[in-house]
Amino acid sequence: MAIPERLLGLRGFIFDMDGTLTDSMPFHIRAWQQVLERRGISEGKEYFLAHGGVPSFVMGGKLRERFGLTESAEALAREKTENYRRLIPGIRAFPWLVPFLTEARERGIRLAVGTGTLRENARDVLRAAGISGFFDTVVTSADVTRYKPEPDTFLLCAERLGLRPSECAVFEDSPLGFEAAKRGGFSLVKVMGGQLCA
């Protein structure tokens, strides 16, 4: 897929990872559902989709409150991460992505990933999807203290790229990410159902 004309004047593209670069959101959801199923609880995917971009330890706290769980948020997050890491080898990049990233690199556009996931998970997902070599920097939940919908993840990406937010587009699939991009002063490009909405 060719880069849309409206984006060609920009110098940096910043991508959310799960559900934007890769088909990994269903894997995250399944990992959380496994945590709940072990406790006799079921929850549909819609709840987790609404919290896309939320770090696992924050999500653990939300589930703890929602279902009255006794384990700590950190313990729930560790269990989910163990489940998720077993699923990582099955994750793939969306089909339009490699040609898109290749064209961006050829045009001299700087590329970053801004994700709420753990650093080692981000590394391994990008490798499994075969796209880790495209990016100049990767910002994860370990790099910021305020998460989406706050803009800090994307602002740090822009800083590391040596660019202003106004020079960058953020590619996102979740409402929290949309809000973060807007708060940060970035152009927003939505990726819905694995498709670029130009």
- Indicate the helix (H) or strand (E) that contains 60: helix 56-67
Beta-bridged to residue 187, according to DSSP, are: 169
Which position among 16, 18, 124, 152 bears the catalytic label?
16
User: What is the Cα–Cα distance from 14 to 118, expressed in whole angstroms?
Assistant: 17
16 is an active site residue: yes
Whole-number Cα distances in Å, 82 to 24, 31, 101:
15, 8, 30
- Say how many C-beta atoms besides its own lie within 10 A of residue 173's C-beta: 24
Q: Please give the backbone phi and psi of residue 180, each rounded to the nearest 5 degrees, phi first.
A: -60, -45
- Indicate the helix (H) or strand (E) that contains 198: none
Active-site residue numbers?
16
